Amino acid sequence: MQTTLKTPVTFEGTGLHTGASVRLVVKPAAGHTGIVFQRTDLGNAQIAALWHNVEVTPLNTRLQNGQGVTVSTIEHLMAALSGCGIHNALIEIDGPEVPILDGSAATFVRAFVAAGVARLATPLRAIEILKDVSVTHGPARAALSPATSLQIAFEIDFDDAAIGHQQKTLNMANGSFVRELCDSRTFCRQADVDAMRANGLALGGTLDNAVVVDGDRVLTPGGLRHADEAVRHKMLDALGDLATAGAPILGRYTGERAGHAMTNRLLTALFAQPDAWRWVNCDAAILARLPGVGVKAADLAQVA
C-alpha cells in the first residue's frame, strides 16, 4: 500500500546557495499524488518531483515546471521521504530553495518519524530493473542493474587527504537509510567554497551546514560524524535523486564519481529503454524490502 504522513510537518531555514530564508511545510496527500512541490510565494504553482522535471545542474537537483518555476536543492528532502517510506506528500514552500538545515537529511527524518506514516488503501507499484543500464561522463559512471531490493554502491576519489578514496555498499531495506546515511552532511573543499561565493553561490553555506575540508584538514568544528561521511552523503544524494523516478526502485545503483546530473541522466536512459524495466505490484514480500518499511524511533538513537 502507498503511504503519506499522518500530520503536517514544518521546517524553517536558509537555502544553501541563495542564502534566503524559507518556510517549508510537508503535508499529507492522497494516493497517486506522488511528491509535489507548491510555491506558495508564486500563486501556488506546482511542480511534480519527477525525473523529467529535473533541470540538470552540477551542484544540486533543481525542479522546473513548464512555466519556468523552480525549486532547488530538493535531494536531501527527497532522500528523507524515500528513506522513511513516504510515497505521497504536498510540499508547500515560500521560496526557490529547500532549506539546507544541517547539511544532511537527519532533521527531516526525525520530524517524519515523529509525525508518523499513514497507510493508504491505494496499491503501490515499484520499478523493477530487468537489465543493466549505465551512463558515463569522463571518469564518472552511474548504473542500474537487476536486484530484488534497492541497493546502493558508491565510490569516490578526491585529492584532498581528508576525503581521499572511499567506497560503501548498502541494502536500503529495513531502515538502513535512517541508521547509516541520514545524518551524513554535504561536503566541499574550501577552494570550491571560495569559487562558488565569487560566482554568487553558496551564500547560505557555513561550517554549521557542510563539511568543509582543506587538504588533510577538516575545517568544520567537531570534525566528521563518520570516517567515511563523504561517501555516505553521496549515497544519500543518490537515494534522493533516484526518488524522482516516481516509484520505489528494485535494483542496484552503482555510482563512481557520480553526482546529481549523472543520476538524472541514468533515469533518462532507463526510461528510454522499455525493455530495461517493468512495473510490479508490491505484495507483502516486496513491501518488506522497500526503504522505510519498519523504520522506528529507535533507529534514530545514534543519529547525530
Three-state SS string over the chain comes to CCEEECCCEEEEEEECCCCCEEEEEEECCCCCCCEEEEEHHHCCEEEECCHHHEEECCCCEEEECCCCCEEECCHHHHHHHHHCCCCEEEEEECCCECECCCCCCHHHHHHHHHHCEEECCCCCEEEEECCCEEEEECCEEEEEECCCCCEEEEEEECCCCCCCEEEEEEECCCCHHHHHHCCCCCEEEHHHHHHHHHCCCCCCCCCCCCEEEECCEECCCCCCCCCCHHHHHHHHHHHHHHHHHCCCEECEEEEECCCHHHHHHHHHHHHCCHHHEEEEECCHHHHCCCCCCCCCHHHHCCCC
Q: Which domains, from first to last, does the chain contain?
A: 3-300 (3.30.1700.10)
Helices (H), the chain: 75-83, 106-115, 176, 190-198, 229-242, 260-271, 284-287
What is the pLDDT at residue 298? 83
Q: What is the mean pLDDT of residues 274-291?
A: 96
Q: What is the mean pLDDT of residues 267-277?
A: 98
Active-site annotation holds for 76 = no
Alpha-carbon span 63 to 40, nearest angstrom: 15
Please name which of 5, 6, 10 lies closest in space to residue 89, comparing C-alpha atoms.
Answer: 5
What is the CB neighbour count within 10 angstroms for residue 53? 17
Q: What is the mean pLDDT of residues 286-292?
A: 93
Residue 228: pLDDT band (50, 70, 90) is very high
Alpha-carbon span 256 to 120, nearest angstrom: 37
Q: What is the mean pLDDT of residues 109-134?
A: 97
Q: What is the mean pLDDT of residues 101-124?
A: 96
Q: What is the mean pLDDT of residues 289-303?
A: 84
Are the beta carbons of 151 and 267 closer than 8 angstroms? no
pTM of this prediction? 0.95
Does 119 have pLDDT greater than 90? yes
Are the beta carbons of 171 and 151 closer than 8 angstroms? yes
Please name which of 97, 303, 58 lies closest in space to residue 205, comparing C-alpha atoms.
Answer: 97
Q: What is the mean pLDDT of residues 264-291?
A: 97
For 197-224, write each residue's pLDDT tens digit.
777 766 666 777 889 998 999 999 899 9
Q: Which residue among the candidates 17, 87, 233, 260 is catalytic per the annotation? A: 260
Alpha-carbon span 218 to 41, nearest angstrom: 38
Percent of the chain scored above 70 by pLDDT?
98
With 0-12 / 13-18 / 19 or more C-beta atoms within 10 angstroms meaning exposed / middle / buried, residue 135 is: buried
What is the pLDDT at residue 131? 98
Does 18 have pLDDT greater than 90? no
What is the pLDDT at residue 202? 63
Q: What is the mean pLDDT of residues 105-130?
A: 97
Distances (CA, A) of 273 to 51, 207, 276, 280: 15, 43, 5, 17
Q: What is the mean pLDDT of residues 71-100?
A: 97
Q: For the chain, what is the mean pLDDT?
A: 93
Q: What is the mean pLDDT of residues 234-250?
A: 98
What is the pLDDT at residue 95? 96
Alpha-carbon span 73 to 63, nearest angstrom: 9
Selected residue with higher pLDDT from 29 and 58? 29
